[in-house]
Amino acid sequence: MNSIHSMCIAPMMECTDRHFRYFLRLITSHAFLYTEMVTTGALLHGDSMRFLAHDPVEYPLGLQLGGSDPQEMASCAQMAAQAGFNEVNINAGCPSDRVQSGRFGACLMAEPERVADCVSSMCESSNVPVTVKTRIGIDDQDIHDALNTFVDQVSRAGCRTFIIHARKAWLKGLNPKQNRDVPPLNYARVLRLKQDFPHLEIILNGGILSMQQAIDLSAGIDGVMIGREAYSNPFILHEVDRLFYSGEKKYYLTPHEVIDQYLPYVERQLSAGVRLSSITRHLMGLFSGMPGAKAWRRHLSEQANRPNADVGVIEHAAQLVNSERLTAKTLTQSPVNGQRTAQAAWL
């Protein structure tokens, strides 16, 4: 694959904040990262720097934007460009009631003209690329006609990249969590969309749990996006650079080495007044599936909220799995089942 979007990490509320994104950059240098969704109102009328703040090490990085007013979206696109983001992604896929009341998210699939107007205004206001993340349909929409109509109209306005969650969204009757699991996945529909629009970049999202699955699904499209699995098991991404970016080989940090390199960042954030628990909550899954993972999680959970908690909490938690430290300097993720292979030797 040659696309910058060959592997993307989904925007996830209360997950993909700047602390988690910096952490992920120690595992993969090239995967495309996204912020949590930010509303136009928060940027235009709130503390914009709180939402726009990021470290250049996070690039490539996209700002996911929630809104539906073309002028407000254009103003926010300008802010994103000035802040240095590589992309602005329009949220046209979130099914929550709160998002619907703001007239954005998945309900925008019923208003392709409005989304097209937003894209057009955003493209005119700045040179930052505008992309759209959406579903294959909502409610009783025909997933063939409605999706093609949506993509056709929005692409004509200037959007060249569409991230498609391969499920319908049910705006009534299912909550956001159920909308991530209950509607059946339809990967074939996303592949067909690429065939219908070969000149567009189509990224597939939804239900990806392993690197082998990601590799298999990437055939015939331009990239894949992983969501919850990347958060609950972030080390699954450690071979992304080699597998998805021109076969590039790199030195793979072990989980303990990731922690060692992350500690200076944690110290800087603590000095700036950030609570340790705001950072350690993103680290819980680092040792997922490995001996000692439970002790690691338990210590962070019990100690990070204590007054004056510092990096020593993380160091001690890592020592609890020290007897199972990885001895291999290069780890290999098995593409068959996502588990560590014998090359990840345990002491």
- To which residue do tokens 């067909």 refer? 192
Range from 73-87, 119-133, 252-266, 314-328 carrying the lowest mean pLDDT: 314-328
Q: Which pLDDT does position 180 carry in this prediction?
A: 84
Q: Which pLDDT score, from 0 to 100, does residue 1 have? A: 52
* pLDDT confidence tier of residue 119, bands split at 50, 70 and 90: very high
Q: How many CB atoms lie within 10 A of CB 160?
A: 13
- Report residue 95's pLDDT band, with 50, 70 and 90 as the boundaries: confident
- Report residue 325's pLDDT band, with 50, 70 and 90 as the boundaries: low
The residue-averaged pLDDT of 167-194 equals 90
pLDDT digits (tens, 9 = 90+) for 297-310: 999 999 999 999 99
Distance CA 222, CA 278 (A): 34
**Predicted pLDDT of residue 103:** 77
pLDDT at 339: 39
Residue 101 confidence class, pLDDT cut points 50, 70, 90: low
The pLDDT of residue 126 is 96
The predicted model gives 50-57 an average pLDDT of 96
Which pLDDT band, with edges at 50, 70 and 90, does 221 fall under?
A: very high
**Which listed residue (76, 94, 118, 123) is catalytic?**
94
**Tokens of residue 171, six digits:** 């705006």
pLDDT at 334: 39
Residue-wise pLDDT tens digits, 240-265: 999 999 766 566 789 999 999 999 99
Q: Give the pLDDT band of residue 328 (cuts 50, 70, 90).
A: very low
Provide the pLDDT for residue 246: 77
Q: Is the pLDDT of residue 238 over 60?
A: yes
Q: What confidence tens digit (pLDDT) does each residue in 155-167 have?
A: 999 999 999 999 9
With H, G, I as helix, E, B as strand and everything else as coil, classify residue 270: helix
Angle, vertex CA 21, rays to CA 18 and CA 22, nearest 5: 85
Query: How confident is residue 172, by pLDDT bands cut at 50, 70 and 90?
Result: confident
**In the block, which residue shows the tokens 């990490």?**
9
pLDDT band at 98; cut points 50, 70, 90? low
- Check residue 337 and give its pLDDT: 40
- Residue 332 has a pLDDT of 45
Looking at residue 268, what is its pLDDT? 98
Give the number of other CB atoms < 10 A from CB of residue 326: 22
Q: Indicate the range of 73-87, 243-257, 329-343 predicted with least confidence.
A: 329-343
Can you spell out the DSSP letters for 201-265?
A: EEEEES---SHHHHHHHTTTSSEEEE-HHHHHSGGGGTTHHHHHSTT---PPPPHHHHHHHHHHH
Kindly indicate the confidence band of residue 336, based on its pLDDT and cuts at 50, 70 and 90: very low
d(C-alpha 22, C-alpha 8), whole Å: 15
Note if 94 is an active site residue: yes
